[in-house]
Amino acid sequence: MNLLHLMPALSPGGPTRSLLTLVRETRRARPDVRHTVVSLSSADYLPLAFALRREGAEIQRAADIEQVAGYVERADVVLVHFYNTPALWRTLAGALPSARFVIWAKVLGEHAPQRFNTRLFACAAHVAFTAPPPAYLPAQFKEARVIPALADHARVSGVVAKPHDGFNADYVGTTNWGKMHPRFVTMLARVAVPELKVRVCGGALEPAMAAELKQTPQPGRFECCGFVQDIASILETSDVFAYPLAERTYATSDQSLQEAMLAGVPPVILPHGGPGRFVTDGKNGIIARNEDEFVAAIEYLHRNPERRAELARNARQSAQVLFNTEKHAVAILELLQEASQAPKTRLMPADGPANDGRRSGAALFLMSQDWDEASAQTAVKAWRAGQTDELAEYASGLDDDAFQIEGGILHWRREVMDDPLLRSWSALWLMRHGRVDEARHEMAEAVRLGAPRAAIRGL
């Protein structure tokens, strides 16, 4: 089987690590499968790209639509490792040839901007989710397979808890607003454990969160470690996996959660996103109902080391079942094998104006948020003609996540700087946050690019 993996990027995070584990597992179980990995980004994490090459995968980085189309045409099956980005959407909605597409969703899909387009999913031979899918999806998708991301057990299999000073509550993972709880610093600063050390492993904190950290009474209890490749060195001295995610998080079966549990570190989480599908409160971790309970749970585990040790054992044992790499690799390979027998189909056949490459960035953003193409194109055309109320009301109803996290309006605006509607929506967001001068400059650029005068109202 010639298997094409289509990736928004080869990032250092979960989707790429899951891909690497799948390729390794496939070499053992299905050596006849030939892997080609196409990344749409020029900013790939090269250590993982090199690791994939060492496993025999062909890598094409920063692929354009013509290159992607050539790979798609030659593939027996195309596995789309899906999360919303402008580059992925331009590609999937572009002039790709018919193929056997399988979509493996790496986000929860409940909230903008990381939502699912049901028409896109309906065109695929198969769809799989990494956590149970959101309720708004039609019935056929609710019956789709749930196949968690594949953790590399070797990264943490040798972890043995080491004696250490103090009490370590650790967070590992993405540190942007769409993932990490915006009051993470506030919550951990409230924990009444004098010897508490909070280690944050991942990217740089959001500027507002970093500023908040400096204002806490004990900023020294926080240590921002940046990206940590050797995560076992953190988990072997970890007492609690402090993983409070944002209320509208797009997280599913996060690899950082998997690795912590496999290493025998009890997780303390909030009931948001996918992690609550894998943590059972009081059995293999604690699910706090609110911020106060989250703080209290960490204090409780500090006071009760026997209970903490029991949850740690249960976390490890349950993770070995929940995140059985061999089992889940077989499941995705079975799905791919079934797809290889299906007829080839087009993704996103045009239901509006002809698919001639003239879709605007704003129209594609709307399509990524589950608008059908005809409605998206019609709404954008009306806006350009001065009938701005519908899309102004739509943008006003979006929360900040829909603008500022990956796949959001600001992301699209950076990718498509000449789109007047994206620029005007960005101006509305800037005005929402009191950044008046920036908003007026942004709207002036939108007008220069063709935004109607009616869009200026309120600025």
Q: Are residues 330 and 314 in the same domain?
A: no
Domain that holds residue 314: 153-322
Average pLDDT over residues 84-89: 96
**pLDDT > 70? residue 246:** yes
Q: Which residues contact 356 (CB under 8 A, 6 or more apart)?
A: none
Q: What is the pLDDT of residue 355?
A: 44
Q: Are residues 68 and 131 in the same domain?
A: yes
Residue 354: pLDDT band with limits 50, 70, 90 = very low
Q: Are residues 261 and 168 in the same domain?
A: yes
Phi-psi region of 2 (alpha: psi -120 to 50; beta: other; left: phi over 0): beta
CA distance 329 to 155: 17
Q: What are phi and psi of 199, to 5 degrees?
A: -105, 125
Q: Are residues 115 and 28 in the same domain?
A: yes
pLDDT tens readout for residues 426-452: 999 999 999 999 999 999 999 999 999
Q: How big, in percent rounded to 5, are the helix, strand and coil portions of the chain?
A: 45, 15, 40
The count of structural domains within the chain is: 3
Q: Are residues 309 and 224 in the same domain?
A: yes
Say what the pTM is: 0.94
Q: Are residues 172 and 310 in the same domain?
A: yes
Does residue 232 fall inside a structural domain?
yes
Secondary structure (3-state) at 83 = coil
Read off the CATH number of the domain in which 309 is found.
3.40.50.2000
Q: Are residues 408 and 437 in the same domain?
A: yes
Average pLDDT over residues 372-384: 96
Residue 280: pLDDT band with limits 50, 70, 90 = very high
**Percentage, residues of the chain above pLDDT 70:** 97
Q: Are residues 116 and 35 in the same domain?
A: yes
Q: Are residues 200 and 234 in the same domain?
A: yes
Q: Are residues 75 and 49 in the same domain?
A: yes
pLDDT tens readout for residues 134-145: 988 988 888 899
Which of 291, 322, 353 marks a domain boundary?
A: 322
Which of 340, 370, 401 marks a domain boundary?
A: 340
Q: Are residues 145 and 173 in the same domain?
A: no
Mean pLDDT for all residues in the chain = 94
The alpha-helical segments, DSSP class H, found in 263-343 are 291-303, 305-322, 325-340
